[in-house]
Amino acid sequence: MRRATHKTRRDFLGLGLAAAACTLVTTPAFAARLARPVATGPARALSFYNLHTDEKLDITYWRDGQYDRAAWGRINHILRDHYSGDVHVMDLRLIDLVHDLRAHFGNDRPVDIISGYRSPATNRFLRRETTGVAKNSYHMRGMAMDIRFGGTPLPRLHSEALALRRGGVGYYPSSDFVHVDVGPVRRWG
């Protein structure tokens, strides 16, 4: 599998349609949570930088007590499988976890995305080509991201992610990222 370096107009239109579909076609539980007011409080915003696609996104995804459906579609798009271009609905809890980590450090720099969603085919490919890729990875469910924050030392990011106890945390210092997911609480690396 090679990442395509030349994109046609048709590719961009297809990605746009896929992103739009993700905002419209969701599970009933996801749609209910997306539409339901949660609580009042300050807006939640994030900045992302996808290292593989060189895309940036600054977005407010939660305001006035609810998640913004259009913003969610744009987040799903930037976190897509950078090998295949497949877009998947990302778990709301994961984005809130990343938001809370970033807020803890008072870091307003973009979240560097090493990996967001992975299609099953991409996950199988990575398992054959590299080490440390889980057979049933939470990346394939839109429940995991491999990240780092510019200006925040990796050991501090790792420690804070562990302290929050909101899912799995993997530490990959030689690859310069921390894996976070919203599966069961566990740790490795």
Structural domains in the chain (count): 1
Q: What is the pLDDT of residues 75-98, one digit of tens each?
A: 999 999 999 999 999 999 999 999
**Residue for token digits 């984005």?**
95
What's the CA gap between 138 and 141, in Å, rounded? 5
Q: What is the pLDDT of residues 167-181, one digit of tens each?
A: 999 999 999 999 999
Q: What is the pLDDT of residues 99-158, one digit of tens each?
A: 999 999 998 899 999 999 999 999 999 999 988 889 999 999 999 999 999 999 999 999
Tokens representing 56 are: 């940036």
Residue 50: the pLDDT is 98
| Domain assignment present for 147 | yes
Under the banding of pLDDT at 50, 70 and 90, the label for residue 10 is: very low
User: By CB neighbour count within 10 A (0-12 exposed, 13-18 middle, 19+ buried), where does 140 fall?
Assistant: buried
Residue 170: the pLDDT is 97
| Cβ-proximal residues to 99 (8 Å cutoff; 6+ apart), any chain | 44, 45, 46
| Domain assignment present for 4 | no
| Domain assignment present for 110 | yes
| Domain assignment present for 85 | yes
Residue 5: the pLDDT is 44
| Domain assignment present for 3 | no
Residue 39: the pLDDT is 56
**CATH number of the domain to which 148 belongs:** 3.30.1380.10
Q: What is the pLDDT of residues 24-65, one digit of tens each?
A: 444 544 444 554 445 567 899 999 999 999 999 999 999 999
What mean pLDDT is predicted for residues 4-9?
47
Range of the domain at 93: 9-188
What mean pLDDT is predicted for residues 8-33?
46
| Domain assignment present for 2 | no
What's the CA gap between 185 and 115, in Å, rounded? 20
